[in-house]
A and B are shown apart, each in its own frame.
Chain A
Amino acid sequence: MQADGYLAHAPGYVLNEGPKLITGRFVHEDSFTLERYRATGGYEGLRAALEMTPAEVHDEVRAATLLGRGGAGFPAGVKWGFLPPGKHPYYLVVNGDESEPGTYKDRLLMERDPHQLIEGCLIACYALGLRQCFLYVRGEMALAQERIAAALNDAYAAGLVGREICGTDFSVDIVMAWGAGAYIVGEETALIESLEGRRGMPRLKPPYFPAAVGLYGQPTIVNNVETLSNLPWLMVNGSQAYKGFGSESSPGTRMFAVSGHLRRPGVYEVEHGVTTFRDLIYGENFCGGIRDGHELKMFIPGGGSAPWFFAEHLDLPLEARPVGAAGSMLGSGAIVIMDDTTDAVRAAWRVVKFFARESCGKCTPCREGTTWLEQILRRILDGEGRPSDIDLLLDIGDNISPGPYPAAAHNGQEAVPFPPRQTTICPLGPSAVAPVVSTIRRFRQEYEDKITRQDPIRIPVAAGAAP
């Protein structure tokens, strides 16, 4: 381990002080092997689960209030309860398509500890009485795919996956699939479409949950990699111990990927709900403050889709509810820090460009609106902006996401709580509105400073003049 906490074999991960429920093995260079995994208590959670009835395992997860780590923060135990009884087969789909800008925690979990994820899958399958699990890994994550494939092979060979696991009558097959490079496949219904071999485009809702109609039309549970990686520890130590960490409403630990203008950016496992943004950004145990003595200008608290926060939000705890009430979301656990050297318009443009490129093209407002937003921002940056462009940006945003858009309180305006409304099928379109609304609301002057052109003179069309 290097002095600053970085691990040479786990780039991006910072080993700091504090409870390590899911990243504890990262210190070992060979943490991804079955030998190391077993030597460090691996597959004990599965063994513990197999000694319970499936219902007891489910109850334990429910009791632990294990919140989903993919973005929505929905309790896993409750989600599992949505499976309609008797409509077998059920499927478990692991969402390993981590592609939210700034998020790279699941990649580390898959690369560094694939067996922990596999064990988590097995525990979930056992609790839900299902026999087939699909592990969907983002297409670009070659190393994660390699490690998971190797781990699956070892686990199959060791009798931990497959038929009659550990000598019981519990059998599960785990299949790895990988994406073709589309951000939208992180949306669970688009992931299911992709898994079925079609274009990764979100499905229409209702049905709202894949638990009702999912993969191949069957009830399907879609869980995030980090969520499932919590299960082995939870099974070994129990829900009471689990709730000993974090806050009451958000127990356990959570991984945050903190990036940007920091002294020590990286992925941290932190106690959920009790740590604040200030702790994480300025704490010596964490990121150690802004680089080169600069000041914080703004930060994105929950991945590229989240509305932006500012210095006054630093004391909010890392917990979904207060963050949502303040006008943003904790999302996928990606925090992007921007210091006072950052050009707000350019930063907004960069995030919007991402969403414009990643729009799947299915529904009109997202397909056309995100690109239009990007074009206007680009034009403003290029010195071709017009005074009306600012209101145009806001109005395009309103046509993608009608009504007041979630935003932090500013200048007497109250905070608009998350989530946004949408004219689109999925939240990708509204995500592109977040940086635009956040920056215009806060840094309108920066926009105006960049605007150099005049609006064209419009010749008013007299009423009734049209033929």
Chain B
Amino acid sequence: MTAAEPQVGEEVAVEIEVDGIAMQARPGELLIAACERAGTYIPRFCYHPRMSPVGMCRMCLVEVDTGRGFSLQPSCMVPVSEGMKVSTASEAAKKAQDGVLEFLLINHPLDCPVCDKGGECPLQDQTMAYGPGETRFVEEKRHFTKPIAISETVYLDRERCILCDRCTRFADEVAGDALIHFMGRGNHTEVNTFTDEPFASYFSGNTVQICPVGALTAAPYRFKARPWDLSETVSTAWVDSVGARVAVQASRNRVLRVLGADADAVNWGWLSDKERFGFEALNSSERLSAPAVRQRGAAWRDVGWGEALGQIAAALGEAPPERVAVLGGARLTNEAQYMWAKLAKGVIGTDNVDAQLGDGLDPAIVLSLPRATIDDACRPGGTVVLMGPDPKEELGALYLRLRHAVVNDGVKLIEVTPGATGLSHLAQHTLRPRPGTTAQLAAALVATAESSPAADRSGTAADSGTASRGTGAAGASDADSDATNAADGIAGTGVDRSEFEAAARCLSEASDAVTVIVGRASLAEPAEEVEAAAIELTALPSVKFLPALRRGNVVGALEAGLSSEWLPGRVRLDDAESAESLIDAWPRMPETAGLDAAGILRAAARGDIDVLVLLGADPLNDFVDRDLAYRGLRGASLVVAVDLFMNDSSSLAAHVVLPAAGPTECDGTFTNLEGRVSPMSRKVTPPGTARPDWMIAADLAERHEPGSASDLDSPEAIRAELARVSNPHRLITEQALIQNALEGMLLERSDTTGEAGGWRRSGRPTMGRSPVGRTEPETGPAGREDNAGTREETPDGAFRLVAARTMYDDGVMLRHCPSSRGLAPAATAAVNPADLDAGSLGQGAAVRVVSDFGHLEATLVTDLGVPPGSLRVNWLAPGAPANALIAAGADATMVKVEAR
């Protein structure tokens, strides 16, 4: 924080001596870590480099001399100090290690032959390396009921458990879900859950990975393979845009397990359970395995690739370019995305392409605002503004990093969200702007933060002085504070004034760059509000942004040009002449700017789209307006679905279905929300004749215009062309990828594109309403003024709808994932308890949530995290899609609750 503190780079090495060999350690480093870096492995069970040490297992006892003679010390608890002498293999140390191992083994069941951990078990390995070899224990071993299910997916065998505190520490310290604990004492100590409180954590799978014995096992891998039969490749998790690094393990051409890989810049080895167990869907027997065409009578007929592609190519050949559209593409690798972008824009010539389904952000925001990395956001002592979705629900691995930063590294979190998130209880300041006032609040924050903190404080004191000298009537002081609020620009936002001032002061005092996590907290609100708010915040000094987009490789799609009005390399379509290398590589350019997802669906509903390609997209469930999605799908003449599964949209409307290879079935790269490009690796072959997406696009391109993709016959070749045509990608070479195999490499930042990137910050106090070019000023404020009033002023009994995603939902991949199929929460309508007082409906009532556009059936619950006047529904609950309530482009959605 202050300049007096030494910088990391200036730290002086600490000289220590390990087993007689002098070495240098980092100041403050734990002895066990220092020794490991120097090549001396000290056995351990409880120590984990990503968690605080507890010194419980006593396996890492070594003899340490800090000047008063050698004594046994747990090396996981002792920080190095100058001149420290360490003996890791002295007689006393060996005896202590032997003794601890024997103690651990006496009550261990030694059922290694039937234990999933056998072969990769630290207890096994260290027994071989350090253990006594023979038992002296003739007593009856300790018995517990063999595995008990502590959650839907995780099983606990307490007989195998060595009580190392790793899982319990993870649950408490890292995930913040302290649902497993030690119980009992002495020899009867056990790990368990509380009665009726299962270990229902989104991150429970991590405990299985870090368990040093086979005590914790996860259903998807139980009894599936022996570790020595597995082969492994490092890849990238595909279920959300964090792009956590994973190790994909397979045996006999089947993926059996996914483990977190410890990439320091990304996920630290942690994964959400969805990332970890999501691979199960890929093994589903319902995967598409052959192209199929719909016959009359809605029956499907499997056909060869030639027939299917020929039919599509024929349709493409006949359709004018502007009557062709591509929806989706976030599932694809960067290479496939570029290939599809080239097919659509460069070969066919249509700009009707959108990888987002109305639930993301304007590409200008994602591509042009100065981009933060996760490390930037988590830098100790930094400041983070969370102005987006709940990271715990949508971006699991990012949530764990943020939580660690806030809890351990003094990162200050300012939450600007419409409701409580998984981080709310850790937030330094919480601002809950009324829907539609986020941009106004952001502008006010910037204005107040820019005025000096001292001036701000004295101003407050003067104000309160005035108030206290007033008439004393409540009305007068209210009016006074209203005036003050208006002066600060927070009138109508509904945020607490003192909290607002504290947050602004926090921003002004932020010594380091502020990171803004920007995304869609509610899919019932248009993106423009949060986009405008983000643009206001660009006025903060050296602010950076982390786009909290949810869907897989969506950032990669935008970077590869899979979005209307944009070309690969962050080039706007109207600026296409500047992209010379692109003009060389592409046969043609779209002549007119195309439509985004809403536009495409509207056009299709009007009958203006001849060929609609669903590139791993399920608009019926994912587009914000279910009715429009339905009409659009029905209105398109030919709907082609390129996907892993039949989903609701393709079942409804597709005419041709092409099976695509899944994320573990093709090579490529992935771009995460930071713009970090990391490899995805093929581990198994796709089912049937399913093909990688890039290959499908290349084939169609060749059919449409021979020669346009003839040299793009591999991911490497496509990657090379992408690096040639796109400036940000130019450093993504094969060699660079190999060198950065674990951490990946960041795309060039575009901190300078600024205004050219398409966004511009309107000066205060007009508080820009037209920065993004979609929303006109005159359409915006109307909705805003509707909500500027207090709760009582909203239409009788109506709530402002908040539609937020949850970790598990009724998405097509999760539906085919046996371990998480049952985890999608049923539809709930959550309201603040204060809003229930008057009504006759109570907690748990079966209700119908009705908007002007549709309705859904849900259970009424109360939640203090929902502000009064709002009603939160989960986005894609089984049988109750929230997008049935929402109309695309509406400024806000008002709903009522009826009994059913």
Which one of A146-154, A274-282, A291-299, A355-363 is at the interface? A355-363
List A residues 166-223 near B (Cβ within 8 Å): 182, 199, 204
In the complex formed, the residue of A with least CB distance to B99 is A399
Does A103 have its Cβ within 8 Å of any Cβ on chain B?
A: no
Are B103 and A368 in contact, with the CB atoms below 8 A? Answer: yes
The winner among B53, B136, B187, B189 for most chain A CB atoms within 10 A is B187
Cα of A362 to Cα of B134 in the assembled complex, Å: 25
Tell me if B58 and A424 are in contact (CB < 8 A).
Answer: yes
Interface pair B185/A375, CB less than 8 Å apart: no
B187: which of A359, A362, A379, A392 is its contact (CB, 8 Å)?
A359
Are B187 and A423 in contact (CB-based, < 8 A)? no
**How many B residues, CB 8 Å from partner?**
36
Q: A363-B56, A363-B58, A423-B100 are in contact. Are A371 and B186 (CB under 8 A)?
A: yes
Report chain A residues within 8 Å CB of B106.
368, 372
CB distance from A449 to the nearest CB of B (A): 21
Known: A364-B57, A365-B58, A399-B102. A359 touches B185 (CB 8 A): yes
- Tell me the minimal C-beta distance from B390 to chain A in angstroms: 29
Q: A199-B182, A421-B72, A423-B72 are in contact. Are A361 and B61 (CB under 8 A)?
A: no
Please give, as numbers and ranges, the residues of chain B lying within 8 Å of A403 by CB-CB distance. Answer: 92
- B313 part of interface (Cβ distance < 8 Å): no
Q: Of B58, B77, B186, which one neighbours A357 at CB under 8 angstroms?
A: B186
Chain A neighbourhood of B98, CB < 8 A: 399
Query: Taking the complex as formed, is B41 at the interface, i.e. its CB lies under 8 A from any CB of chain A?
Result: no
In the complex the two chains form, is B182's CB within 8 Å of A364's CB? no
Known: A204-B77, A402-B95. A361 touches B187 (CB 8 A): yes
Nearest chain A CB to B169 CB, angstrom units: 12
Q: Indicate if A369 sits at the interface (CB-CB under 8 A).
A: yes
Q: Which residue of B lies closest to A204 (CB)?
A: B55
Q: Which residues of chain B are within 8 angstroms of A398 by Cβ–Cβ distance?
A: 95, 99
Q: How far is the CA of A357 from the CA of B134 in the complex (A)?
A: 27
Chain B minimum-CB-distance residue to A355: B186
Say whether, besides A361-B189, A364-B104, A372-B137, A421 and B71 are in contact (CB < 8 Å). Answer: yes
Q: Write out the residue numbers on chain B whose beta carbons fall within 8 Å of the beta carbon of A31.
A: none
Report the number of A-B residue pairs with Cβ-Cβ less than 8 Å: 96
Q: B185–A402 contact, CB under 8 A?
A: no
The answer to whether A364 and B103 touch across the interface, beta carbons within 8 angstroms, is yes
Interface of A is mostly: helix
Name the interface residues of B159-206: CB closer than 8 Å to any CB of A: 162-163, 181-182, 184-189
Q: In the complex, what distance in Å separates the CA atom of A360 from the CA atom of B182? A: 10
What is the CA–CA distance of A402 and B92 in the complex, to the nearest angstrom? 8
Contact A402 B96, beta carbon cutoff 8 Å: yes
A358, A360, A367 — most chain B CB neighbours (10 Å):
A367
Which one of A356, A364, A399 has the highest number of Cβ atoms from chain B below 10 Å of its Cβ?
Answer: A364
**Once bound together, how far apart are the Cα atoms of A371 and B56, in whole Å?**
17
CB distance from A351 to the nearest CB of B (A): 15
Shortest B56–chain A CB gap in Å is 5
B-side contacts of A250, CB under 8 Å: none
Count, chain A residues at interface, CB 8 A? 35
Chain B's nearest CB lies how many Å from the CB of A395?
8
- Pairwise interchain contact A379-B139, C-beta atoms closer than 8 A: yes
Task: Out of A361, A365, A458, name the residue touching B99 (CB < 8 Å).
Answer: A365
Contact A423–B58 (Cβ < 8 Å): yes
Assess the B163–A367 pair: CB atoms within 8 A: yes
Q: Is the Cβ of B103 less than 8 Å from the Cβ of A361?
A: no
Contacts of A362 in B (CB 8 A): 56
8 Å CB contact of B100 from A358, A365, A370, A375: A365
CB distance from B106 to the nearest CB of A (A): 6
**Interface flag for B54 (CB, 8 Å):** yes
Chain B residues whose CB sits within 8 angstroms of the CB of A376 once the complex forms: 139
With an 8 A cutoff between CB atoms, is A415 at the interface?
no
A78 proximal to B (CB < 8 A): no
B424 at the binding interface (Cβ < 8 Å): no
Q: Is B485 an interface residue (CB 8 A)?
A: no
- Tell me if A423 and B55 are in contact (CB < 8 A): no
User: Which residues of the other chain, B, contact A357 by a CB distance below 8 angstroms?
Assistant: 186
Residues of B within 8 A of A182 (CB): 185
From residue B396, how far is it (CB to closest CB) to chain A in Å?
27
Mark interface residues in B339-378 (1 if CB within 8 Å of A CB, else 0): 0000000000000000000000000000000000000000
Query: A399 contacts B103, CB within 8 Å?
Result: yes
Residues of B within 8 A of A423 (CB): 58, 61, 72, 96, 99-100
Q: Is residue B233 within 8 Å, beta carbon to beta carbon, of the partner chain? A: no
Taking a contact as CB atoms under 8 Å apart, the answer to whether A402 and B72 are in contact is yes
Q: A359-B186, A363-B57, A367-B163 are in contact. List 4 more A-B contacts (CB 8 A).
A: A182-B185, A365-B103, A402-B96, A423-B58
**24 sample A-B contacts, Cβ–Cβ < 8 Å, listed by A number:** A199-B181, A199-B182, A356-B187, A361-B187, A364-B56, A364-B103, A364-B162, A365-B58, A365-B99, A365-B103, A368-B107, A370-B187, A371-B186, A372-B106, A388-B136, A392-B136, A398-B99, A399-B98, A399-B103, A402-B92, A421-B72, A423-B72, A425-B56, A458-B134
6 A-B pairs with the lowest CB-CB distances in the bound complex, closest first: A399-B99, A361-B189, A368-B103, A371-B187, A359-B186, A375-B139
Q: B: which residues have CB within 8 A of A?
A: 53-59, 61, 71-72, 77, 92, 95-96, 98-100, 102-104, 106-107, 134, 136-137, 139, 162-163, 181-182, 184-189
Binding site for B on A (CB under 8 A): 182, 199, 204, 356-365, 367-372, 375-376, 379, 388, 392, 396, 398-400, 402-403, 421, 423-425, 458
